[in-house]
């Protein structure tokens, strides 16, 4: 078993401590150890009524970030030491934003307003404004359906910032490799990662054997069709000969050429889908939005 700051024995002791001192139902407690790599605290608290958080010294802005994410009314139960003993204290997050973590311990976060389900296809207004032009939320919902993200998925998302964020939320035990070519887009990507509190995103500026070296091997790749697309497909297939692909394009000739390109690289089960969405404007007129093509296949 890997070395961990909090062993099973520690976890059981803290669970017993809170079971005796706090109003919780152990059956409904979500446990998260943020001393381990790439753990997403904020999305976890947002979606669970009771979260037992194991943390180490530091995290000076942890409560500020929770408050900034709209979790100020959540109640934090904690003690002042590193052991599950002694007096238990509790305060709302909004009254703790000027303090950090001063001991390796566990805190219990109660969120009575937790949402039990995740809404696929978040509104674009939820994301940081920056250099990135976000795909419509309805189209993103279809792309997320095609990605079939699971708790431990490893994905490569090329030029799909909002899709990378949604994937990171849906895969708390996995990894998202976000590829953004321009510096401005990478900055906006990092702003979104901080805003949503996701730590399982790795941002790089292009795809080749060197930039992908040492990174988790993705199972699925979503990419926006571009001039470098074929080189990216070749590289990704070297990493994972069984890669699944989801490709987005607004260009009909590109969409038409992709089945032949997939065939060249042995990518099967090809599906070509076009999404057409119209929305009513203030004059009660239906206005058509850009209609992208979504092409999927499995190597």
pLDDT per residue as tens digits for the range 84-104: 999 999 999 999 998 888 778
pLDDT confidence of residue 47: 87
pLDDT band, residue 124 (cuts 50/70/90): low
Q: Set out the domains of the chain in order of their start, with CATH numbers.
A: 8-110 (3.30.950.10), 124-298 (3.40.50.150)
At 176 the pLDDT is: 97
Is the pLDDT reported for residue 171 higher than 80? yes
Average pLDDT over residues 166-192: 92
Span 155-177, average pLDDT: 92
Mean pLDDT value of segment 55-76:
89
pLDDT at res. 1: 43
User: What is the secondary structure of the chain as a DSSP string?
Assistant: ----SS-HHHHHHHHHHHHHHS---GGGEEEEETTSTT--HHHHHHT-SEEEEEE-SB-TTHHHHHIIIIITT-EEEE-SSSSS-S--EEEEGGG-TT--B-SSEEEEEE-TT--SS--SS--GGGSPPSS--PPPHHHHHHHHHHHT--TT-EEEEES-HHHHHHHHHH-TTSEEEEE-SSHHHHHHHHHHHHHHT---EEEES--SHHHHTTSPPPSEEEEE--TTHHHHHHHHHHH-TT-EEEEEES-HHHHHHHHHHHHHTT-EEEEEEE---EEE-TTS-EEEPP--EEEEEE-
**Whole-number average pLDDT of the chain:** 89
* pLDDT tens digits, one per residue of 1-60: 455 778 889 889 999 999 999 988 888 899 999 887 778 899 899 889 999 999 988 788
Q: Give the pLDDT confidence score for residue 119 in this predicted structure.
A: 62
End-to-end Cα, the chain, rounded Å: 34
């Amino acid at each position: 078993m890997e070395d961990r700051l909090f062993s099973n024995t520690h976890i059981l002791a803290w669970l017993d401590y809170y079971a005796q001192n706090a109003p919780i139902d152990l059956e409904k407690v979500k446990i998260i150890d943020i001393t381990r790599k790439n753990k997403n605290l904020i999305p976890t608290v947002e979606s669970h009524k009771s979260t037992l958080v194991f943390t180490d010294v530091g995290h000076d802005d942890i409560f500020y970030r929770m408050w900034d994410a709209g979790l100020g009314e959540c109640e934090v139960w904690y003690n002042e030491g590193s052991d599950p003993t002694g007096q238990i204290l509790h305060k709302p997050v909004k009254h703790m934003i000027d303090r950090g973590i001063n001991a390796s311990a566990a805190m219990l976060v109660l969120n009575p307003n937790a949402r039990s389900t995740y809404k696929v296809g978040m509104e674009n207004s939820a994301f940081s404004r920056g250099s990135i032009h976000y795909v419509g939320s309805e189209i993103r919902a279809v792309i997320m359906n095609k990605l079939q993200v699971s708790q431990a998925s490893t994905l490569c998302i090329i030029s799909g910032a909002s899709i990378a964020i949604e994937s990171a939320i849906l895969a708390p035990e996995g990894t998202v490799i976000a590829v953004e070519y321009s510096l401005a887009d990478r900055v906006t990507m990092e702003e979104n990662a901080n805003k949503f509190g996701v730590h399982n995103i790795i941002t790089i500026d292009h795809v080749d054997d060197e930039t992908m070296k040492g990174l988790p091997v993705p199972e699925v790749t979503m990419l926006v069709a571009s001039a470098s697309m074929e080189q990216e497909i070749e590289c990704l297939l070297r990493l994972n000969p069984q890669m699944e692909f989801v490709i987005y394009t607004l260009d009909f000739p590109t969409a038409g050429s992709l089945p032949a390109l997939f065939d060249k690289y042995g990518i099967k089960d090809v599906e070509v889908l076009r999404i057409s969405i119209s929305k009513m404007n203030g004059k009660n007129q239906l206005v058509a939005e850009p209609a992208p093509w979504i092409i999927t296949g499995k190597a």
